[in-house]
Structure 1
Amino acid sequence: MRAVVQRVRRAAVTVGDERVGRIDGGLCVLVGVGRGDDDADADALAEKVVGLRIFEDEAGKMNRSVLDEGLEILAVSQFTLFGDVRKGKRPSFVEAMEPVRANELFERFCATCRALGAPVETGRFRAEMQVELVNDGPVTILLDSKRLF
């Protein structure tokens, strides 16, 4: 699984005219599920995201997590994180997982984040979404569950 983690002041997801997810501060996490990913990938990625120390402490050092700060996570499924443009200019998505299992793993990622104590809002799986955010810092971290350990 892959994730783009952005520290945000606020973030929201809209589908059509309906706001489906919103946070007032924390992390906006774009999550992609790839072929070959499993429950262990979802759990490992969730543990890493929830524990990321990318919020500043009293000394101005990145030393605090979303849990330490009492903030939230907005998780948005995004299969395009597995887009491959090595051949040509149009992305190939053959490395993205099929939708049914991808949704299961995305939901497991969210459930694990919640079980670890982080409130989680989400977008809507397979919907055309508009994601709005105010990046704080900016701080953006790229994660891949296959490269966490």
Structure 2
Amino acid sequence: MRIIIQKSLASRVLIDDEVRGEITKGFVLLVGVTHEDTMEDVVYCARKVGNMRLFDDEDGKTNLALKDVGGDILSISQFTLYGNTRKGNRPSFINAAAPDHASNLYDALNNELRDQGFHVETGEFGAYMQVEITNDGPMTILIDSKQKDL
């Protein structure tokens, strides 16, 4: 599982010009799932997101986590995170999970984050969406469950 975290001041997702999810301060998660991902990957990524310290403390150091600042999450499914660009100029998406598998794990991730006490807004899995992100910093972090610490 790959997750791009963008620290956000305000973000929203639109489908057919209708706002489906919106947050102010918090994280925008762009979530990709691959074939071999399991609930172990979901739990690992949810723990990392929930504890990631990307917000400044009173000394201006990035020591505060999302829960410390009362932030929200906008979670967007994005199979293109598993695009392979090694050959040619058109990405291959063969490493992205099949929709049923990806949807189940994407939903499980959002539920794990909700179980941690976070307010999680989402788009719609598989829909064509416009995502507006006001990236704060800019601050963008990549989490890859296959590169987890042992």
TM over 0.5, shorter chain:
yes
- Mapped pair 1:82 → 2:54: no
Q: For residue 136 of structure 1, what is the aligned residue in structure 2?
A: 136
CA distance in 1, matches of 2:137, 2:5: 12
The Cα of 1:127 is off from its aligned counterpart by 0.3
Gaps of 5+ in 1: none
Gaps of 5+ in 2: none
CA distance in 1, matches of 2:89, 2:21: 32
CA distance in 2, matches of 1:4, 1:26: 13
Q: For residue 94 of structure 2, what is the aligned residue in structure 1?
A: 94
Q: State the aligned residue count.
A: 149
Letter in 1 for 2:128: E
Aligned-residue CA RMSD (Å): 0.6
The Cα of 1:17 is off from its aligned counterpart by 1.9
CA distance in 2, matches of 1:148, 1:64: 21
Q: How high is the TM-score relative to the length of structure 2?
A: 0.98
Q: For residue 35 of structure 1, what is the aligned residue in structure 2?
A: 35
Letter in 1 for 2:145: S
Letter in 2 for 1:81: L
CA distance in 2, matches of 1:52, 1:148: 14
Deviation string 1:89-125 (CA, Å, 9 cap, x unpaired) is 1000000000011000000000001111111000110
CA distance in 1, matches of 2:35, 2:68: 33
CA distance in 1, matches of 2:84, 2:61: 35
Query: Structure 1 vs Structure 2: percent identity of aligned residues?
Result: 46
Alignment of 1:1-149 (within 5 A): 1-149=1-149
The Cα of 1:74 is off from its aligned counterpart by 0.4
Report SS of the residue matched to 2:126: coil
Letter in 1 for 2:123: G
The Cα of 1:35 is off from its aligned counterpart by 1.1
CA distance in 1, matches of 2:57, 2:38: 34
CA distance in 2, matches of 1:17, 1:55: 31
The Cα of 1:45 is off from its aligned counterpart by 0.4
Deviation string 1:54-89 (CA, Å, 9 cap, x unpaired) is 000000000001111111010000000000000111
CA distance in 2, matches of 1:20, 1:51: 26
